[in-house]
Amino acid sequence: MGLWQKIANTFGRRDLQKDIEDELAFHLQQKERANIERGMRADQARCAARQKFGNLTLANERTADSDVVQWLESVMRDVKLALRLLLKSPAFTVTAVITLALGIGANRPCSHL
């Protein structure tokens, strides 16, 4: 999954939730279909598939949480690495900060004109 998709999933929780529910329903149907092919009646196959699959609500919550949590953990690792690298070379850090400050300050619109 790409970065933009993860960002969209983080802010578009409703769409992510629908996708997860659809995915879990698909897997449950596959288990039910496999049970029917083994010779079970439809109601028995559905019950056995639900038992084997486990708690749908718990699976739904774990899937949604893991996507956002993994993404946030990845971002935090990147931020920590960036800070370590900036602290490792203070001359570069000072130069970069001064350059950014001058660039932002020079492009700031004048409110008194």
Tell me the pLDDT tens digit for each residue of 35-65: 888 898 888 888 888 888 777 777 777 776 6
Instruction: Give the residue-averaged pLDDT of 67-85.
Output: 83
Q: For residues 62 and 36, is the Cβ–Cβ distance under 8 A?
A: no
Q: Is residue 9 part of a domain?
A: yes
pLDDT of residue 67: 64
Segments forming the whole domain that contains residue 82: 3-107
Distance CA(20)–CA(64), nearest Å, equals 7
Quote the mean pLDDT of the chain: 80
Q: Which has the closest alpha carbon to 53: 17, 18, 26?
A: 26
Distance CA(52)–CA(40), nearest Å, equals 14
Count of domains forming the chain: 1
Q: Is residue 103 part of a domain?
A: yes
To the question of pTM greater than 0.75 for the whole model, the response is no
Has residue 3 got a pLDDT over 70?
Answer: no
Instruction: Give the residue-averaged pLDDT of 90-111.
Output: 88
Q: Is residue 33 part of a domain?
A: yes
pLDDT of residue 95: 95
pLDDT of residue 40: 87
Q: Is residue 17 part of a domain?
A: yes
